[in-house]
A and B are shown apart, each in its own frame.
Chain A
Amino acid sequence: MEVLLYSLRKLLAGIPLVLGVTLISFLLIVYFGPDKTYELVGKNPTAEQIAEVRSQLGYDRPFVTRYMEYLREIVTLDFGSSESTDEKVSSILARTIPVSLLLALPGFILGNALGVLLALVAAYFRGGLVDKLIMGSAAVGMSVSYLIAIIGFQILLSSADGLDLFPVRGWDTSTPLAYIQHVTVPTLATVFVALGYNTRFYRAVIVEEMTRDHVRTARAFGIPPAKIFYRNILKNSMVPIVTRVVFSIPLIVISGSLLLESYFGIPGIGKVSYDAIITGDQPVLKAVVALTAILFVVAQLLTDICYRLVDPRVSLGASTR
């Protein structure tokens, strides 16, 4: 009950944020977006024909009316149909989001799990050779562009000049083997690029927790290192770690895979967004931007609830921190 009330309050607090994001996307994509009139009218249009098309497109209505119309579309999740394929936007989303999840999840999970693991090792050997080695590699990894990593792994693993183990591009989830074959190269590239940042971030968090007073207290009472590590360091590190993980979820669902999917030609939400950008497919763009924003608000809510589970100091009853 307490959690439910808290969630509701948090959702309400997210409304200004959603309004802001929808306003920006409305302004950029719809209001100041390209004028579609001349694509739709025939050759040598009469003034009446132009006016009619403009009225169909809603260009003659006032700003507020058009914005409210956009909000109505978001609330009802009815974004109309894609301008290029005539498929309903809702069905496009239903078709492509699962693909994006299957593509992004392995890299996301591995990138964070390995990041925490390496960070723990580096923090444990803080200042030593192992630490320097791990953090040096992280610095190298951070300096490699995502695109370069993708192409690099593709040359190494998928081309005739490399090991030629995996398909060059495309997507197939008909069998587990096909899935693994198609997901490996994108996953490796993602992990390679994310690992440096993750390791650095998690190491900083863990080192900070290692230097807390209560760690010294525990040592002063003869508590063994393994127990201190788990109960004093790891448990207290969970809040920032969880925050980072949850906040990257909206990105991987909607736009994190945009580059990956358009490069490998994978029919996920990222590819759809990319095509919509290139062709100027308004209904799809509107839907994607609005949904990401809403996901962000939900992610914030989730982190707040996670805080409560991890840290007893955070009270759900109290106002926001």
Chain B
Amino acid sequence: MPAPLLEVNNLVVEFSTDAGVVRAVDDVSFSVAAGETVGLVGESGCGKTVTGLALLGLVPTPPGRLASGSIRLDGQELAGLDDSSWRSVRGRKVAMIFQEPMTALNPVFRIGNQMIDVLRQHQRITRRQARAAAIEMLAKVGIPAPDKRIQEYPHQLSGGMRQRVMIAMALSCSPRLLVADEPTTALDVTTQAQVLEQMVRLQQEFGMSMILITHDMGVVAQSCSKAMVMYSGRVVEQAPVTELFARPRHPYTGGLLASIPRIREQRIPELPVIEGTVPDPLNLPEGCRFADRCNKVRDYCRLAQPELKPIGRADSKVACYVPD
């Protein structure tokens, strides 16, 4: 088995707040193989976005900081890089696209200029070449009349178009890894499907790896080969997508899957929801963090935190004392 493209080990990200230190990401480890798409799933605030930001050294500091752990990309250790070394990684080796296409682009510059900036930051090419490359990229992500669009300002484009521009920008320097943070959440439903499809197609065409951060299990099913479920800063389950959907091991994963509406199957009286709330990050329980919401909770679940351990024949791991 070849070495994975990205290997994250025991990553810890902390934020200091008025009331104390919050561990937004707590001892997270995972790997992404070349060309693979990994889904990172969880409710808002579970630490998935912070994990993504940490991969580009973008955790806002202060108040946040990468407290410990290692991030190895293609053999290079990224944790602890200084800012100028990070700059040669960002955009060129790892690119990121964000949830909010409306505000993610600089409103006072034409999109062409913003794309050309990125291209020329990482490649020794002339402005004219960069422009041609930008137009080509825009065409690839499905923007009609790219030579005209490139002259426009962000506010002249629709949300879907802007997100395509972001994707084009992200792919323009052929990064090895793309981190996509809820790339379709802010778009309307029909656009969502188109943009997602486009991303998967381009990811295969470029042969890059992708980490898709989402709260939507449907998106994971559609585009990922492997998925990680995060809860309260920790990975609670990690498995190939087919395995995860066929047999969710962690009660939380089971709950997430049950709460997806299934249109074609028989009608159910009420969509199941997971009762209760996420624990206070300043006041975490000693045992399993899901215990208070779990319908299978045992006394010993509250004593110590369960470790993420391999389970079953497939490449699955779960952090639960009573897995399914």
Contact = CB atoms under 8 A, between A and B. Distances in A.
Contacts of B91: 220-223
B88 interface: yes
Contacts of B133: none
Interface of B: 56, 58, 62, 83, 86-92, 95-96, 98, 100, 103-109, 117-118, 121-122, 153, 155, 166, 169-170
A217 interface: yes
| Residue of A217, A218, A219, A236 with most partner-chain B CB within 10 A | A217
A212 interface: yes
Contacts of A227: 117
Q: Counting chain B CB atoms within 10 Å of each CB, which of A127, A223, A232 scores highest?
A: A223
Given A218-B106, A227-B117, A213 B100 contact: yes
Contacts of B83: 225
A311 B104 contact: no
Interface in A93-130: 127
B107 A236 contact: yes
B87 A222 contact: yes
Interface of A: 127, 212-214, 216-225, 227, 231-232, 235-236, 310-313
Contact of B108 (A216, A223, A224, A310): A310
A190 B170 CA distance: 49
Contacts of A223: 87, 91, 117-118, 121
7 contacts: A219-B58, A220-B58, A222-B88, A222-B121, A231-B117, A310-B108, A312-B155
A245 B223 CA distance: 52
A210 to B, nearest CB: 11
Contacts, number: 76
Given A220-B91, A312-B153, 5 more contacts: A127-B62, A214-B107, A216-B58, A217-B98, A311-B107
Nearest to A217: B104
Contacts of A310: 108
A259 to B, nearest CB: 39
A224 B169 CA distance: 16
Contacts of B87: 222-224
List of 5 A-B pairs having minimum Cβ-Cβ separation, nearest first: A221-B91, A222-B91, A222-B90, A213-B103, A222-B87
B108 A312 contact: yes
Contacts of B121: 221-224
Contacts of B62: 127
Contacts of A222: 86-92, 118, 121-122
Contacts of B106: 214, 217-218, 231-232, 235-236
Nearest to B105: A214
A227 B121 CA distance: 11
A219 B103 CA distance: 14
Given A220-B96, A222-B88, A222-B91, A213 B122 contact: no
A236 B100 CA distance: 18
A231 B121 CA distance: 14
Given A127-B62, A223-B117, A236-B107, A313 B122 contact: no
Given A219-B58, A220-B95, A231-B109, A214 B117 contact: no
A236 B108 contact: yes
A221 B105 contact: no
A310 B83 CA distance: 30
B13 to A, nearest CB: 16
A238 to B, nearest CB: 8
Contact of A311 (B96, B100, B105, B108): B108
Contacts of B103: 212-214
A218 B169 CA distance: 11
B155 to A, nearest CB: 5
Contacts of A214: 103-107
A28 B306 CA distance: 79
B153 A313 contact: yes
A294 to B, nearest CB: 31
A207 B89 CA distance: 26
A236 B91 CA distance: 23
A49 to B, nearest CB: 69
Q: Which of A214, A216, A222, A232 has the most CB of B within 10 A?
A: A222
A235 B117 contact: no
A18 B98 CA distance: 48
A241 to B, nearest CB: 13
A313 B105 CA distance: 13
A227 B87 CA distance: 13
